[in-house]
């Protein structure tokens, strides 16, 4: 760590001056305050496990912690020596010790294991650590999973993650460590454990998936089947906080469909409909994603449920989203098992759209100019507020100088280099924008839409 760098020179000096180092150790043992501050580095330089163990065993104060830290940083001749050191430290991981001792003992143990890995010892240490851990030890456990997760097996990880379920929103540092740990585990064969942990932890609504930012990003942008599995799992739980986390998980990603090759789980018919209701309830504003979940269920559903899910695809999904969702539905190929049902939903949707146009322009129904002006002004104010908010949160805009080009389609900027030479930077201007499709009922029947979403969100499993 960078904080250790200034002491590197001192450690080197100790290595080169054994007699001075020995005096310092003696002074520390005798209780000298200044010597105690440098004890860790002197012990590390001595690379004398026995002396360090002596401090650990005899001095129930900061010198014990220095001894543990030094023990973790020493070089051992072989696994047997390392095992001896581990054995001493293991005793201090036990619940009979205080939280600081346990934390340092665990951290130092895994420093030793880093060089002399012993899966049995690792499992044993974690088993000891997870018994009544304090906040500091929990951080150390998270750190262990983060730093050593790749070498740990499920027997060690499961109890660690179980212990880490106790972490609350106030432990931001530990949460960051857990997030890093989970993110690391996703790359391994421990995906199931990560999803289990998140599912269990987010069941309580005091944390959301945004507390696990890097894990969430990896889940949302990584393997689509894995994402589908966790979305389905959380929706099927019927638990509202988990449903909200589905929304949170997909918030920053584009509205996109799960591929036709996505494997849907085998579910009882009632669960298939339940899942579709939940998908509509929570992913209504991600219509393509939502429709693709419905379609994935149509693929595996029996005739009766297929018809019912097809009805849901039409109403409320295709009724509300005549743009992207409809385009997605049109991409379903004829060889897809969902094709017939989706086609029927599309036909109903077309009839609905034709019906909408049937009345044409009825001048008597149009809002007055005054009303239109008020609405436009209101929309303008809303959009402006949203833009200002987005700009204030933009990392990029806070770093760069901003130019506002009022006219033209190209810009020429004269820049003076540090050597005084002037050059012209030319830039072609391109338009960029984003669009969002609002559900039709947001205007036609907002209360009904709100009611529908709430009913589906709150629906309980039969």
The site for another protein (CB under 8 A) is made up of 319, 352, 355-356, 358-372, 374-376, 378-379, 440, 442-448, 450-451, 454
Residue closer to another protein by CB (options 416, 435) is 435
With contact defined as beta carbons under 8 Å apart, do 219 and 195 qualify? no
- Candidates 250, 251, 247, 297; CA nearest to 274 is 297
Q: What are the backbone angles phi and psi of residue 62, rounded to the nearest 5°?
A: -65, -20
| In the complex, minimum distance from the CB of residue 366 to another protein, in angstroms, rounded to a whole number | 6
Q: How far is CA 428 from the centre of its chain?
A: 38
Q: CB nearer to another protein: give 372 or 411.
A: 372
Alpha carbon distance 287, 294 (integer Å): 10
Bridge partners, residue 412, by sequence? 426
Shortest gap between Cβ of 254 and another protein (angstroms)?
A: 25
Helix (H) or strand (E) holding 25: helix 18-30
Shortest reach from residue 444's CB to another protein, in Å: 5
User: How many of the other CB atoms lie within 10 Å of CB of 27?
Assistant: 17
Q: How far apart are CA 113 and CA 262, in angstroms?
A: 40
In terms of CB distance, is 374 or 427 closer to another protein?
374
Distance, in Å, from the CA atom of 278 to the CA atom of 242, rounded to the nearest integer, reads: 11
Between 386 and 427, CB nearer to another protein: 386
CB 299 within 8 A of CB 264: yes
Distance CA 68, CA 174 (A): 22
CB of 436 to another protein, least distance (A): 14
User: What span, in angstroms and rounded, lies between the C-alpha atoms of 96 and 159?
Assistant: 19
- Of 150 and 454, the one with the shorter C-beta distance to another protein is 454
Tell me whether residue 23 or residue 384 sits nearer to another protein (CB atom): 384
Closest CB 385 distance from another protein, rounded Å: 13
Compute the least distance from the CB of residue 375 to another protein, in Å.
Answer: 4
């Amino acid at each position: 760590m960078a904080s250790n760098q200034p002491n590197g020179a001192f450690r080197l000096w100790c290595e080169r001056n054994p007699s001075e180092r020995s005096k310092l150790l003696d002074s520390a043992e005798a209780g000298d305050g200044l010597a105690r501050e440098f004890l860790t580095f002197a012990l590390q330089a001595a690379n004398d496990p026995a002396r360090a163990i002596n401090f650990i065993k005899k001095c129930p104060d900061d010198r014990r912690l220095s001894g543990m830290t030094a023990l973790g940083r020493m070089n051992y001749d072989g696994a047997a020596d390392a095992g001896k050191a581990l054995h001493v430290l293991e005793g201090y991981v036990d619940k009979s010790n205080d939280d600081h001792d346990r934390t340092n003992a665990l951290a130092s143990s895994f420093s030793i294991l880093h060089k002399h890995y012993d899966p049995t010892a690792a499992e044993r240490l974690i088993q000891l650590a997870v018994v009544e851990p304090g906040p500091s030890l929990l951080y150390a456990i998270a750190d262990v999973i983060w730093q050593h997760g790749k070498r740990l097996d499920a027997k060690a990880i499961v109890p660690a993650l179980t212990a880490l379920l106790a972490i609350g929103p106030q432990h931001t540092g530990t949460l960051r460590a857990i997030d890093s740990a989970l993110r690391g585990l996703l790359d391994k064969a421990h995906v199931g454990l990560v999803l289990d942990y998140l599912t269990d932890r987010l069941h309580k609504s005091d944390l959301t998936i945004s507390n696990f930012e890097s894990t969430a990003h990896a889940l949302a942008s990584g393997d689509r089947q894995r994402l589908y599995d966790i979305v389905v799992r959380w929706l099927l739980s019927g638990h509202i906080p988990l449903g909200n986390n589905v929304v949170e998980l997909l918030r920053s990603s584009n509205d996109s469909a799960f591929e036709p090759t996505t494997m849907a789980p085998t579910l009882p018919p009632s669960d298939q409909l339940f899942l579709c209701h939940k998908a509509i309830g929570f992913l209504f504003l991600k219509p393509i994603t939502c429709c693709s979940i419905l379609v994935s269920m149509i693929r595996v559903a029996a005739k009766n449920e297929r018809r019912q899910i097809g009805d849901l695809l039409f109403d409320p999904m295709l009724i509300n989203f005549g743009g992207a969702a409809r385009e997605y539905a049109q991409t379903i190929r004829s060889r897809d098992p969902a094709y017939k049902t989706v086609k029927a939903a599309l036909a109903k949707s077309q009839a609905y759209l034709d019906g909408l146009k049937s009345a044409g322009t009825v001048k008597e129904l149009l809002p007055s100019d005054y009303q239109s002006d008020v609405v436009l002004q209101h929309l303008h104010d809303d959009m402006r507020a949203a833009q200002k908010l987005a700009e204030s949160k933009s990392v990029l805009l806070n770093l760069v100088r901003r130019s506002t080009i009022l006219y033209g389609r190209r810009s020429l900027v004269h820049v003076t280099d540090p050597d005084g030479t002037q050059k012209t930077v030319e830039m072609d201007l391109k338009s960029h924008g984003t669009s969002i499709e609002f559900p039709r009922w947001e205007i036609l029947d907002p209360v009904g839409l709100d009611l529908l979403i709430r009913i589906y969100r709150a629906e309980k499993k039969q």
